[in-house]
Structure 1
Amino acid sequence: MNNKYNTDLLLKEANKSILFTANRPELVMEHGKGMYLWDTNGKRYLDFIGGWAVTSLGHCPEVITKALLEQSAKLVNASPTFYNVPMVEFAKLLTDNSCFEKVFFASTGAEANEGAIKLARKYGTKFLNGAFEIITATNSFHGRTLATMSATGKKKWEKLFEPKVQGFKHVPLNDSKAIQNAITSKTCSIMVEPVQGEGGVFAVEENYIRSLRELCNEKKILLLFDEVQTGIGRTGKLFAYEHFGIEPDIMTLAKGIGGGYPLAAMLTKEKFDIFEAGDQGGTYSSQPLGMSVGMAVVKEIINKNIVKNAEQQGEYIKHKLTSIANKFNLTNIRGKGLLLAFDLPVEKGSEVVNECLYRGLLINSPRPAYIRLMPPLIVTSREIDEMIEILSGVLADILK
């Protein structure tokens, strides 16, 4: 057991000095490696949350450690005034491996989405007679700034932090008629997650997303993909738009792109490179340290074909869940790659999550009857078997 830290003292200090924003369990994480985390009492946890789909290469991968050490000895921050070497190299890596030609780097998914919203509105100002409205989906999630909360389609956020940023409409996912009816002369963009992660892991239908592409072409408005959770291999493709045979006009990335380091990006086509100097920026945009980490992570995922592992292991998880589904009345096993979920027969998601935590497994319940799984992309069948064994024991006790 690790006796380096006094957990009770740490928790006391946390409650004293850290602003309350979330209900956290009474434990403190101390270190991690691969698929596992350890708390300050030395207890090990199998991580099927993956830092909220962030630790794409698992905990403390060597490529990130190496990138941080080498770049920190060269240049940490040159200010956003200048180009820097890893900035240029990372931008090229992303554009060479996607359908886009231009990149803006940021620190968080919300910041990337803010940039995308600004770009869509700039496009509306320049080419659509001042159009500014953006249509998003109900149950969507786009971030926690005021603008991205306004874009988000969570019901319980409707009255939070009013007045919201104006100019967003929410319509049901996969409802083409609702989208068509929502478009007006004020519309500049449609913003969609290829798979709604926080909403419960619900994917767009292929015919629906193709119809959106056609509709945007017809109306000359922008199609914006929020791939903050789905990008960089999470769904079994490097980018989720590849599942549908269409290309968005703008795409945002975060979470897995930095493997745990705070990093995000907005990508767009050459023809939408329309910002003027001063329209968009950020103190930490394209910071060399982050650029080096992001480049190391994305290269590792591409060079070792970790995307294929995400696809294969995702299918294995579905197979294992299906094998226990009848026993526990689990339904609607869904998702792509390693962004998966299923429905419980009763609204006991939080109980399942808490009991799994007690037994050393980290999972998530985005809604009372949903369980979500988003492990690091390096997960193996052995760790999936371990997850299923713990989960089955928990379900047997809670669902009886």
Structure 2
Amino acid sequence: MPLHYKRIAQASNDILINEDGSRHIDMFGANGTVLLGHVNEAINKHMHAQLDKLWATGLIDSPIRIQARELVDTFFPDTHGLAGFYSTGMEAAEFAIRLSRIITGRAGLVGFAKSMHGKSMATAFLAWDNPSVSDIPGFNRLPYPSPEREEEVFGKLSTLLKTEKVAVVFLEPIQGSGGGHSVSPDFAQKLQHLCMETGTLLLIDEILTGFHRTGNTFAHQHLGIQPDIILIGKIMGNGFPVSGVVTRRNFRIEPRMLPGSTYAGNALAAAAVIGTLSTLRTLDIDRLSKNIESNIRTAVGSIESEHFTLRGRGLLWIFEFREASLAEQFASDVYSKGVFIGHAGPLARLMPAVTIDQSNLDHALGIISSSLMRYAC
């Protein structure tokens, strides 16, 4: 049966309060954006303080934007810095395309199937079939290099990049919208070497995985690589729309790259960034994340089934079902019992807040585990 969600009127940390007064434990975190819980009090103080001062300035800088930019830079090595704030992941990815083409003087791009870099014509075509677009010149889409396909994919990449026509390779370290597949450190390091060899830029999309979603501050740290460009967003604003493009500091941002936009780096977004990242620094994220991961592994990691595969790490867990109808049935069942999880096609996703109450986590995982048992071998 199709999933019908109630309208949400209010939320508090890990609880969604519906218009009719009923409640759900949130195990999805607004598409993975709300790492620190809904309407986090510490972040709210920063937002409230900014409301009476300044909202938007366009391209003109402001003290709070500078403060936010400097805070973001502290999460990266000295070789890298924030090239600009944006409002959505798609907007950040579009700027990264323009930047890459101008820096390299090349037009080609490489993406991997079933990744998610946005829903504009260009960013979507990098990863998904688009019924309205049969081809975009210079865009190349390869199978995602999960371990069983690494050798095949690397061979195709090598052929493409050695033409020296490709400006940038877009890569998600873990596919949040593609079944939770991830690349191995060996593949990522070989790819970085190939990019350096051929003058191609390597872009890692950390919009979903960045800022502790997968345990490490950034997922690419697990891979032992240093990308040329990193896309960030989602968790950085804890639900407030903001994203960013981080690049090597020796990349010069030029007007012809068309940096910025009407709302990019607005003062309210900057306040959200400052509130979120400064609050992150006060928490023992590593301990909290490991505890939640351990709880999830214990509750569902040992359930074997021919109907689904579980993949994940940290606070990002994805059930890939063999049939979309089973994923919908699973999501509907747990929702009817007071737990909200993500669902799209054959995928069901868990992306809880790191601040989730332990008793709520236990209760939610009990319901999820019980529901999954119907699909067990």
TM-score, scaled to structure 1: 0.85
Aligned AA for 1:112?
A
Q: Please tell me whether the aligned partners of residues 3 and 332 of structure 2 are also in contact (alpha carbons under 8 angstroms).
A: no
Given the alignment of the two structures, is residue 160 of structure 1 paired with residue 124 of structure 2, yes or no? no
In structure 2, the partner of 1:139 is: 114
Cα offset, 1:397, TM superposition: 5.4
8 Å Cα contact 1:349/1:365 also seen in 2: yes
Structure 1: distance between partners of 2:5 and 2:311:
31
Aligned 1:1-400 pairs, distance under 5 A: 25-80=4-59, 82-99=60-77, 100-125=80-105, 131-151=106-126, 153-154=127-128, 158-162=129-133, 165-174=136-145, 175=150, 176-183=154-161, 184-276=163-255, 279-323=258-302, 325-326=303-304, 332-344=309-321, 348-368=326-346, 370-396=347-373
Structure 1 gaps, min length 5: 1-22, 126-130
| Cα 1:344/1:271, change in 2 over 3 Å | same
Matched residue type, 1:238: T
Alignment length (residue pairs): 365
CA, structure 1 residues 393+380, in 2 after alignment: closer, same or farther (shift >3 Å)?
same
SS of the equivalent of 2:301 reads helix
Q: Which has the higher mean CA deviation after the structures are superposed, 168-177 or 140-149?
A: 168-177
Q: CA deviation at 1:283?
A: 0.6
Instruction: Determine helix, strand or coil for the equivalent of 2:342.
Output: coil
| Separation (CA, whole Å) in 1 of partners of 2:358 and 2:221 | 25
Find the aligned partners of 2:130 and 2:322 in 1 and give their Cα distance: 30
Does the aligned pair in 2 maintain the 1:312–1:337 contact within 8 Å? Answer: no
Give the letter aligned to residue 169 of structure 1: N
| Shift in alpha-carbon separation, 1:164–1:32, aligned structure 2, 3 A | farther
C-alpha contact (below 8 Å) 2:23/2:338 kept by paired residues: yes
Q: 1:159 to 1:260 in 2, by over 3 A?
A: closer
Post-superposition offset of 1:306: 2.3
| Mapped partners of 1:74, 1:277: distance in 2 | 32
Q: Which runs of 5+ in 2 are unaligned?
A: none
Task: Check whether the contact 1:222–1:250 (CA below 8 A) recurs between aligned residues.
Answer: yes
How many Å apart are 1:67 and its aligned residue?
1.2
Cα contact 1:250–1:268 (8 A) shared by 2: yes
Q: CA deviation at 1:182?
A: 2.5
Q: 1:316 to 1:300 in 2, by over 3 A?
A: same
Q: Which residue of 2 aligns with 1:14?
A: none
CA deviations on 1:86-124 (whole Å, 9 max, x unpaired) are: 111111111122132233100001001111111111112
Cα offset, 1:352, TM superposition = 0.6
Say if 2:179 and 2:320, in contact at 8 Å, map to a contact too: no
Report if aligned partners of 1:139, 1:199 keep a CA contact under 8 Å in 2: yes
Instruction: Give, in angstroms, the shift of residue 24 of structure 1.
Output: 6.9
In the alignment, the residues of structure 1 paired with residue 143 and residue 134 of structure 2 have an alpha-carbon distance, to the nearest angstrom, of 23
| 167-176 or 35-44: bigger deviation | 167-176
After superposition, the CA RMSD in angstroms is 2.1
AA of the residue aligned to 2:352: P
CA separation in 2, counterparts of 1:308 and 1:132? 44
Contact preservation (8 Å) 1:306, 1:378:
no
- Return the alpha-carbon distance in structure 1 between the equivalents of residues 355 and 55 of structure 2: 28
**Residues 175 and 182 of structure 2 are in contact (CA less than 8 Å); yes or no, is this contact kept in structure 1?**
yes
Which one is further off, 344-353 or 65-74? 344-353
Whole-Å separation in 1 of the counterparts to 2:323 and 2:165: 43
Q: CA deviation at 1:393?
A: 3.1
1:124 and 1:191 mapped to 2: Cα distance?
A: 15
CA positional deviation for 1:162 = 2.1
Deviation at 1:381, TM superposition (A): 4.0
- Distance (Å, rounded) in 2 between the aligned partners of 1:384 and 1:376: 10
* CA deviation after TM superposition for structure 1 residue 222, in Å: 0.5
Contact (CA 8 Å) 1:307, 1:377: kept in 2 or not?
no
Q: Contact 2:99/2:257 (CA < 8 Å) preserved in 1?
A: no
Q: Deviations over 1:211-255 (max 9, x none)?
A: 111111111110001111101110111111111221110011111
Q: Once the 2 structures are TM-superposed, how far is the Cα of residue 40 of structure 1 from its aligned partner?
A: 0.6
1:319-368 CA distance string (max 9 Å, x none): 22124x04x66764321211112345765111111111111111123442
1:252-292 CA-to-partner distances (Å, cap 9, x unmatched) read: 11111110101111111111123236722201111111101
AA aligned opposite 2:216: K
Is the 1:200–1:366 Cα contact (8 Å) retained in structure 2?
no
Against the structure 1 CA distance between its residues 387 and 169, is the aligned structure 2 distance closer, same or farther, given a 3 Å change threshold? same
Separation in structure 1 between the aligned mates of residue 82 and residue 315 of structure 2, nearest angstrom:
28
The one-letter code matched in structure 1 to 2:329 is: E
CA distance in 1, matches of 2:210, 2:268: 21
Is the partner of 1:191 in helix, strand or coil? Answer: strand
Q: Normalising by the residue count of structure 2, what TM-score does the alignment of the two structures yield?
A: 0.90
Cα distance in 2 for partners of 1:97, 1:244 equals: 17
How far apart are the structure 2 equivalents of 1:398 and 1:335? 19
Which structure has more relative contact order (CA 8 Å, sep 6+)? It is 2
- 8 Å Cα contact 1:109/1:252 also seen in 2: yes
